[in-house]
A and B are shown apart, each in its own frame.
Chain A
Amino acid sequence: MTDSQALDGNAIAGTLAEVFGGDMTTAIGTCGHCGARGPVAEVVVYTRAPGVVVRCRACGGLLMVITQVHDVYCVDALGLVELQAPA
């Protein structure tokens, strides 16, 4: 499911903090494709695509795409059914 180009959610902690306003690596996400739950730090992340592509580590389903044009972020999180911010 993963290849050597794949990183994990730790690699986009800065971008996520900018988008969500705080650290999201310990937030718990739920995959809308397979229902797997886990910390954002463990998702599969591709940063070499245009923008950032985030996939589920269990099923490979697309969770989120983040693109940036100048200073504006566009976040498409259609594959995430739930994202619980850290307590």
Chain B
Amino acid sequence: MNWQPATALELIEQTARTKSIVFDVPGWGRHRAGQHVDVRLTAEDGYQAQRSYSIASAPEDRQIELTVERIDDGEVSPYLADELRPGDEIELRGPIGGYFAWEEAPGTPVFLVGGGSGVVPLRAMLRHHRASASTVPVRLLYSARSLEDVIYRDELTAADRGDVRLTLTRRQPAGWSGYGRRVDRELVAEVCWPAAERPLVYVCGPTGFVEAVAGALVSLGHDAARIRTERFGPTGGETP
């Protein structure tokens, strides 16, 4: 697995703290939904910094899209979020990781739970589900602090999105009909399929969020071996 040059094509402001970057990577192999890439930056003095980012695009999408949350004391994200311009080149390697990757298993529902920027690999799975015309039931439960903090807001709140449930934990707009509380055992029980239907579950978000959701699922009788987790660590902001 070698480092490859990647050219930024387009930058899309998602929220005040997150930006999506579309890259052209010549000769890129097809990835699986949920996989990630390592990004490497090299300073003029030769100093290198690298970090892992989930791929936000589906395997069917033409280009690789990453969504970066700005971590103020981070080595990589401030550059990607604030300095990078279309035409600039960085290095990528990947796709990486086979654990937090989804491929359709006939008859198996898929429950996705994302906190904050943890929604990124889950969005790739939703896009893949749609692009591949998958018929297995899928549902995303996405926790954000407010509607302004929802990444891919237009896409995930579109009228035809029967597969997305939002919970806004801090502030809800007037007339909000979605959830307005933290993802706890009761909310998981309400939105997820019963354990008896043996859904595959993917949970991604800050460490504390993932532990709480995975714990709730296990306490509801879900098989721990069918719960796949990915932890983002500190988010730079408050907990979603």
Residues on A lying within 8 angstroms of B by beta carbon are 2-14, 17-18, 23, 25-26, 39-42, 86
Residues on B lying within 8 angstroms of A by beta carbon are 1, 36-38, 50, 52, 93-94, 96-100, 206-208, 211, 228-234
A23 in complex: contacting residue of B38, B50, B98, B206, CB < 8 Å = B98
Q: How many A-B residue pairs have CB under 8 A?
A: 67
User: Do the beta carbons of B231 and A13 come within 8 Å of each other?
Assistant: no
**Nearest-CB distance from A81 to chain B (Å)?**
21
**Nearest-CB distance from A44 to chain B (Å)?**
9
A39 to B50, CA, bound (A): 24
**Nearest-CB distance from A58 to chain B (Å)?**
12
A41 to B100, CA, bound (A): 8
A26 in complex: contacting residue of B96, B98, B206, B234, CB < 8 Å = B98
A84 to B88, CA, bound (A): 41
A11 in complex: contacting residue of B37, B52, B93, CB < 8 Å = B52
A40 to B232, CA, bound (A): 16
**Nearest-CB distance from B100 to chain A (Å)?**
5
User: Do the beta carbons of B211 and A2 come within 8 Å of each other?
Assistant: yes
Given the complex, which residues of B lie within 8 Å of A14, measured CB to CB?
1, 37-38, 50, 52, 93-94, 96
Q: A25-B100, A26-B98 are in contact. List 4 more A-B contacts (CB 8 A).
A: A6-B233, A7-B231, A9-B99, A14-B37
